[in-house]
A and B are shown apart, each in its own frame.
Chain A
Amino acid sequence: MARFLPLLAATKPEYLGPMARIIRSLDEALAPITDGCMLAVPRETSGVAMAATRALVRRGVKHLHLIALPTSTVQADLLIGAGCVDMLETSAVSLSEFGPAPRFTAAILAGEIKMRDATCPALHAQFQAAEKGVPFMPLRGLIGSDLMTHRPDWKVVDNPFGNNDPIVLLPALKPDVALFHAPLADRDGNVYIGTQRELVTMAHAAQRTIVTVEEIHDADLLRDPLFAAGTLPGFYVETIVLEQRGAWPLPLPDRYGIDAVHMSEYARLAATPEGFAQYLDRYVYEKRAA
């Protein structure tokens, strides 16, 4: 058996296998998110790595192809406003009940970013295709929507099992990096995600997964069946960083709610470029404990 190992290593010399590591430095953990990276992030209520997002803005990452599964709020708006994003692929960006996402809106109107408009279940299906290792996934709906006009990568075919039944095929999406925030990780790098199963799909689909967590759990999450069902195995995780209140000002399910006061302040400041610059100075460049 041992004699085959060098052969395997030679086939993929750069690939050592995902080995989840818990490290101290957020900046070090985010190093794989390089300029031009295809970065996948989750929707606003599933566990958004906002502390990590602020660190990316501080570092000045550029040219991201940002994919929000399936929507985003302040995370996409912040990255766009700070000039980190070239292309955005998602179903919607707003500040939810705090109003429109001002930097996203301004960037689209000024033609500063490329937009790939999607619809939520299409993005889910595209990640699921990658997770299964198949090239595409079919989806109902979509036919007759102008989304199809602007998405040449989405194709209509006739259902091979049907009779005159047009159906849309969507290509698999394989992001370079998935980044999210979760409540717990254990020392083996297993990450508790609860019912936010799209985080598992994101990690399955992405080449690398970086997770910030509220706490390190001392026992093995996979040995406890109650935890195990809601756990992303460390096998799929590259790096974990402890970052308390790492989703702030967004909520973390079962842990804390949205900071409505802060979201209102963001909406107000981000409405103008000057206000947005003030916001960055106050909350991003000046590293601030939440």
Chain B
Amino acid sequence: MPDHCRSKNGLASLAYVPGTHVFSEILQTWMAGTSPAMTDTKIRDEELLADVICRLIGNARHIAVGAASPIPATAALLARERADLHNAARPYVSLLGSRAHTFFTDGSRELFDCAGQGRIDVFFLSGGQIDGEGNINLVSVGDYERPKARFPGSFGSAYLYYVVPRVILFRVEHSRRTLVPKVDFISAPGGSDDNVVRPGGPVALVTNRCLFAFDRVQRRFRLVSVHPGHSVEEVDENTGFAFDRPAQVPLTPAPSAETLRLMRTTVAPMLAEVYPEFARRVFGYVVPTAAMNG
């Protein structure tokens, strides 16, 4: 049986928490996954972020990863490997552009149809700009007709943001350029009017400096933790939108030794199918020539 079809405990139950409880769910998931910091090896930013995202994923039956998302892809594959290791229900992982790590047989539309059926629990989106209401911009800066900068385009965001219950936003560059008061173009809005059918939306935002949770009722971000080597002041200085925060902001825990080992030895070769450059740069994994041509 192919790797991605195997499930250790049969079909996992779908753990969907409605929007209003998402924030507490994140915190619970967060605290449950923490482990002693590992100091003997240098931890790369990408490894820390993948671990953060992996813990945000929590329980899921089906995790899908879109285009140009190597860090979420690392996190999704890591979630599956960790489930295996701990004899937990193995999530299905669908990596867009992969042959080995997907079960889709209906072409590239199946991802969207599957999401429309409510069968994708977790997805990841980014933005050239992201604002404090969770609006994302994947199109352009300035006037749309005469843009100052142009990004690749909206991909599937204008649909998946609405229909996938837990969308994790990730944007490595945390600056006033990327985290803005108001996006110049809304590829997909953080929230919708009450009469718009919308089972999905953002639950968190992960950057190179910190983790935010998103409150769908208030339509606001709340600072959850700051990554090692960064500070709350620095987050304030580099964030273009207002956000809530606890009195004491905890430090993001470092990945465990086990997590680092899984990422570096097991996940890296899997990633290389879709993200050869990333696998090489971050994990030093070079794809064997025969595999590329085979």
Contact = CB atoms under 8 A, between A and B. Distances in A.
A87 to B, nearest CB: 14
B16 interface: no
26 contacts: A70-B156, A91-B155, A94-B152, A94-B153, A105-B150, A118-B153, A119-B154, A119-B156, A121-B116, A122-B159, A139-B159, A140-B162, A140-B163, A143-B193, A144-B186, A144-B192, A145-B187, A145-B189, A146-B139, A147-B139, A195-B106, A197-B105, A200-B107, A257-B287, A258-B276, A260-B276
A264 B276 CA distance: 12
Given A97-B278, A101-B152, A119-B155, 13 more contacts: A109-B148, A109-B149, A119-B154, A122-B159, A139-B159, A140-B159, A144-B186, A197-B105, A254-B99, A256-B292, A256-B294, A257-B276, A260-B277
Contact of B109 (A98, A111, A201, A253): A201
Interface residues of A, number: 57
Given A92-B138, A144-B186, A165 B153 contact: no
Contacts of A108: 140, 147, 150
Contacts of A195: 104-107
A192 B148 CA distance: 44
Interface of B: 67-68, 70, 97, 99, 104-110, 112-113, 116, 138-140, 144, 146-163, 185-189, 192-193, 195-197, 273, 275-278, 287, 291-294
A150 interface: yes
A142 to B, nearest CB: 5
Given A46-B107, A196-B107, A201-B107, A121 B195 contact: no
Contacts of B160: 121, 141
Interface string A230-262: 000000000000000000000001101110100
B86 to A, nearest CB: 31
A164 B159 CA distance: 20
Question: By CB atoms of chain A within 10 A, which of B148, B159, B195 has the most?
Answer: B159
A55 to B, nearest CB: 24
B107 A198 contact: yes
A144 B97 contact: no
B158 A92 contact: no
A94 B67 CA distance: 10
Contacts, number: 163
Given A91-B155, A147-B154, A141 B162 contact: yes
Contacts of A100: 151-152
A257 B195 CA distance: 45
Interface of A: 43-46, 70-71, 90-94, 96-98, 100-101, 104-105, 108-109, 111, 117-122, 124, 128, 139-147, 150, 164-167, 195-201, 253-254, 256-258, 260, 264
A139 B159 CA distance: 8
Contacts of B293: 256-257
**A45, A94, A120, A166 — which one has the most chain B CB atoms within 10 A of its CB?**
A120
Contacts of B287: 257
Nearest to A199: B107
B159 A142 contact: yes
Contacts of B97: 44-45, 96
Of all A-B residue pairs in the complex, the 3 with the closest CB atoms, nearest first, are A197-B107, A92-B153, A141-B159
Contacts of B163: 140-141
A92 B155 contact: yes
A119 B67 contact: no
A145 B107 contact: no
Among A111, A196, A197, the most chain B Cβ lie within 10 Å of the Cβ of A197
Contact of B154 (A43, A117, A196, A201): A117
Nearest to B150: A108
B154 A121 contact: no
B116 A93 contact: no
A94 B159 contact: no
A103 to B, nearest CB: 12
B162 A146 contact: no
A144 B153 contact: no
Contacts of B138: 92
Contacts of B276: 97, 257-258, 260
B108 A120 contact: yes
Contacts of A141: 158-163, 188
Contact of B185 (A128, A142, A146, A197): A146
B192 A90 contact: no
B107 A119 contact: no
Tell me which of A92, A98, A166 has the highest count of chain B C-beta atoms within 10 A of its own C-beta.
A92
A118 B70 CA distance: 23
A215 B155 CA distance: 32
B112 A124 contact: yes
A92 B109 contact: no
Nearest to B136: A145
B125 to A, nearest CB: 12
B119 to A, nearest CB: 14
A104 B70 CA distance: 23
B153 A90 contact: yes
Contacts of A120: 108, 112, 155-156, 159
B70 A71 contact: no
